[in-house]
Structure 1
Amino acid sequence: MTETSQQPAGDQVSRSILIVDDEAIIRDLCSKALKGYTVLQAGNGEEALEIFARGGVDVVLTDVMMPRMTGIELLKRLKEMDPTLVVIVMTGFAEKEIILNALKADADDFISKPLNLLQLKTAVDKALDKKALKEEVANLRNLDRLKSNFLSLISHKFRTPITSISLFLQNLSGGVYDPDNPESRRNLGLVYEESCYLERLVADLLAFTRVMDTGGLRLEPVLLGDLIMEALQSSREVPRRPGVETRFDLEPLPEFLFDREKISFAIKQVIDNAYKFSRETGSVVISLTRDGDLCRITVEDGGEGIAREELPKVFEKFYQVDIAKTGQIRGFGLGLYYARQFVRLHGGTITMESEPGRGTRVTITLPAQSPQQP
């Protein structure tokens, strides 16, 4: 494999073209015609698949007749790996069967041999435009899928408490309720809990609606220590764990520029989870430190912990850790997803370390930009 890298220009920045042909002279001619792009070369299909698997390839230009793996076979394999990939097929054969097979395999364009270098450059430019459209369509489909999943999730989350309340009201209207019966009083308490849960779900939905627009940042001077204390005071999870002690190690830091609403949301999600997954007794340790140009917030609990294989998933949309394996996790699974989005918007990172039975540590790292900085 060889790589030819010229200085990118304009909208060609970071665009990579993979040329696959068993003739080195053809690969070199194509490379010279594609000035302004990063050009990768492969002498056969297997080598091309290895290069593509490393990532960063925008367009593949492949010959049809090659040893070990034909261009049509390579085309099929590439489309399986990335349906939005644009593949241009080069061929010196005009057989109808070859063209049909390439079209069936979703070839995006054809170039005839001997090559017209101007035509090649034009075809690659058009291919990149087509790739952008394909990616936009794929993103719209993904948004539709996420919307459908979210609506399904909301329906499921609301159904359980509504059903419980409805059944109790049916019994009440039928004269089943007896205020002197301990079982009736217990059921009344459960219904009250379910109504409170419904109220929390609605509040969470409104909160997510406010923060889902992750477009820009409204920076203002913020004291991170104040945001931590506000998150604790407004948390619904802290009062539910009266046996959990809160310990602090907060370095007195000056004001830095952050989007107050977004960083406050991220901190609150991390703190809420620390108490939510704590045991009935124990402690949550919250620390705030500065390390050069970085601020670091760490929240550590001694709770149930998370299995190693689940750690990469916890920041995914709608993902919820089901420690008890009940399938009845409350909430929407969006808190940590948006927490990571907002921290990344600030140029920071959020990481999680955990071990089952030994608790979890979450660290938010943010750039410390002072108000007087340009």
Structure 2
Amino acid sequence: MLELTANHTQELLQDRDKKTILIVDDEGVIRDLCRRVLNDYHIVEAGDGQEAYEIFLRGGIDVILTDVMMPRMDGIELLKKLKEREPTMVVIIMTGFADKDLILKALKADADDFITKPLNLLQLKSAISKALVKKALKEEIANLRNLDRFKTVFLSLISHKFRTPITSISLFLQNLAAGVIDPADEGAKEHINLIYNEACYLGNLVTDLLTFSSVMDSGAGLHLEPCTLNLLLPKLLQEAQDVAARPGVTTHVTLDTVPELMLDRDKVSFAVRQVIDNAIKFSKETGVVCVTLRNLENQCEITVQDDGIGISPEQLPKLFEKFYQVDADHTGQVRGFGLGLFYVREFIRMHGGTVSIDSEENVGTRVVITLPNKASQSP
């Protein structure tokens, strides 16, 4: 295993912080000039609007600097499509035409700044710097609005989730106090057992609330530290198995040796644990949950596979949405908050990784998490 030095760790952290600028122009000499001037940033290039939009859809772009007159898709059309898809994206228009109609079209499409050709190199650097500040402000405002909406929906969901067990417990206690239920009766024992289960469910809800509260408070950034997945995964699997208390479900783990990675231990642990918990939860009365760690060329791959009840094809695209829950029994009373997989994807993406899910009803589910491993190794 290659050792991670303190200097290399600092270089990695600085590299992660580098912003990415997408330069769009059909003239290679212009793209080359911009790239040389903006050497403090990661630079991605595109020769026309269509190519630029395809690059943008892959993610990771912070600012787009685009010409107007280009083949296939011009700069104004690209601007419109970008803003429709991601309103907070900052787009700077480069143009050699001081045309009022053109500028008006760009402003209507929410262009963030203009640079005229021939390019003034000092102006170009200044425009990019201001664009990054503007992007940060836009994202902060958008996050505050989203957080406000999230809190409203979350509070509504909490009240709904708590109402059913509280109502059941309350009615039972009222009937007990009124003498309708005799604790000595054989049938009362079944009621008492049901109420006990509801009380346990309330306790689990509170635990989940505290977990998600902690997750949301720490969701802003990564706290990277050396992490050994070969030690972490068996621990997470054992913890999940102990909590689930499903003796009919067995577990199996297969581990390649992977290099020590720079990860946010809490976030990666949360993500993997959520996937394992779901695999055990949606297993049948008897089944096997397999966790596999593979060391590939540029990434490590964590696979969690079960032979449980599976997920229908129409539900698969919705699994990573906030508050979405699989209602396998069609009761409308799914327990939990439907936030686990949303944060799984968010946290893995923050590490530059991916999450994918394949499933078939009554056959089982396979979740694959990838994390880059090259960046964690010293040269």
TM-score relative to the length of structure 2: 0.68
1:144 aligns with 2:148: yes
1:17 aligns with 2:23: yes
Percent of aligned pairs with the same residue? Answer: 50
Which of 223, 243, 248 is 1:216 aligned to?
Answer: 223
Range moving further from structure 2, 194-203 or 161-170? 161-170
Match of 1:326 in 2: 331
Inter-partner Cα distance in structure 2 for 1:255 and 1:80: 41
Q: Residue 34 of structure 1: SS of its match in structure 2?
A: helix
How far apart are 1:273 and its partner, in Å?
A: 1.8
Gaps of 5+ in 2: 1-16, 39-43
How far apart are 1:355 and its partner, in Å?
A: 1.2
1:212-291 to 2 correspondence within 5 Å? 212=216, 213=218, 215-219=222-226, 223-224=231-232, 226-228=234-236, 230-232=238-240, 234-235=242-243, 237=244, 239=245, 241-242=246-247, 244-248=248-252, 264-280=269-285, 282-287=286-291, 291=295
Inter-partner Cα distance in structure 1 for 2:231 and 2:301: 13
Q: Residue 121 of structure 1: SS of its match in structure 2?
A: helix
Cα 1:51–1:196 change in 2 (3 A) is same
Inter-partner Cα distance in structure 2 for 1:88 and 1:15: 13
Contact 2:256 2:294 in 1 (8 A): no
Q: Count matched residues.
A: 341
Inter-partner Cα distance in structure 2 for 1:39 and 1:251: 39
Contact 1:223 1:255 in 2 (8 A): no
Inter-partner Cα distance in structure 1 for 2:125 and 2:257: 56
Inter-partner Cα distance in structure 2 for 1:341 and 1:143: 15
When the two chains are superposed, the root-mean-square deviation of aligned CA atoms in Å is: 4.6
Contact 2:291 2:303 in 1 (8 A): yes
Q: Give CA deviations for 1:136-191 in whole Å, capped at 9, x if unaligned.
A: 33233333333333333222221221222223333334443333556654443322
How far apart are 1:124 and its partner, in Å?
A: 3.9
1:352 aligns with 2:374: no
Amino acid of the structure 2 residue aligned with 1:34: C
Q: Residue 164 of structure 2: SS of its match in structure 1?
A: helix
1:13-92 to 2 correspondence within 5 Å? 14-19=20-25, 31=31, 34-35=34-35, 36=37, 40-42=46-48, 48=49, 51-55=52-56, 56=61, 58-62=64-68, 76-85=80-89, 86-88=91-93, 90=95, 91-92=97-98
Tell me: higher relative CO, structure 1 or 2? Use CA pairs within 8 A at least 6 residues apart: 2
1:122-137 to 2 correspondence within 5 Å? 124-125=127-128, 126-137=130-141
Cα 1:72–1:28 change in 2 (3 A) is same
Q: Give CA deviations for 1:50-80 in whole Å, capped at 9, x if unaligned.
A: 64244156234436xx999997676545432
Amino acid of the structure 2 residue aligned with 1:234: D
1:117 aligns with 2:124: no
Contact 2:66 2:75 in 1 (8 A): no
How far apart are 1:216 and its partner, in Å?
A: 0.9
How far apart are 1:202 and its partner, in Å?
A: 0.9
Q: Residue 15 of structure 1: SS of its match in structure 2?
A: strand
Gaps of 5+ in 1: 1-10, 43-47
Q: Residue 329 of structure 2: SS of its match in structure 1?
A: coil
Q: Residue 20 of structure 2: SS of its match in structure 1?
A: coil
Q: Residue 322 of structure 1: SS of its match in structure 2?
A: coil
Inter-partner Cα distance in structure 2 for 1:345 and 1:296: 16
